Amino acid sequence: MAMDRFRASALPNPPGEYDPRYMRQLLRGIEMYFSQLDSRASQNAEKYSADTFQGGEFIGDGKGISVPYAQLVSTSDQSAAAIDQAYAVTYTGTDFAVDISIVSSSRVTFTHAGKYLISYSIQFQSTSNSLEYIDLWLRQNGTDVAGSNTRFSIPARKSAGEPAYLVAVTPLMISVADNDYAQIMFRVSNTAVTIEHLPSVAYSAGVTPAIPSTPSVIVGVQFLSS
């Protein structure tokens, strides 16, 4: 931290002759000056500035603060090959990202240590004729995070041409070190349950408004605290 426009202590005017009281006042003033220089919170500085702080950085000549955040998305379909295996949710890109990146398609990688909020919204589709189950949990640096699983149920499809849909939404907090990574893992009770994106819909008079495309995965990551 730097102190801007630091003000020196006022020193007493010298007397015409030696005066022990003047010497004490002079030494006291010098002592105060150096104690202020050594202090982390000087009372004689008009303002303070810093280049970095734990968990982020100052931007715009100290006029703003940048902290890690990201919105990760997938616009592709994802499926499970077997019901006894776990699969990592993958991403096709980012809408926003500061000091958070995607590695190997599925690893949400953190530049800075800290506590983060991970909120996911995943669009599932089922063509099964029965009620099915989905498990979603976090895996950190290759190890499952205890207590992070959420189970969802998706209803049977309405007909052969009309699958059932479910949006799985969960917010979770995670504590990471520098360069740690996290993955969202999923398991389904039937391989007929998949993660699906939906294309945009064009306007049709009397039928539907124009509807934007539906990503298969949207994940928000927000820095909370160092």
Choice between 82 and 6, residue whose per-residue pLDDT is larger: 82
Question: Domains in the chain, start-ordered, CATH in brackets?
Answer: 2-49 (no CATH), 68-202+209-225 (2.60.120.40)
Instruction: Name the pTM for this structure.
Output: 0.73
* Vertex 196: Cα angle to 173 and 99 (nearest 5): 40
Of 70, 182, 76, nearest to 123 by C-alpha is 76
Question: Are the CB atoms for 110 and 176 separated by under 8 Å?
Answer: yes
Per-residue model confidence as pLDDT tens digits over 133-182: 999 999 999 999 999 999 999 999 999 889 999 999 999 999 999 999 99
pLDDT tens digits, 170-201: 999 999 999 999 999 999 999 999 999 999 99
The answer for residues whose C-beta is within 8 angstroms of residue 7's C-beta and 6 or more apart is: 44, 45, 46
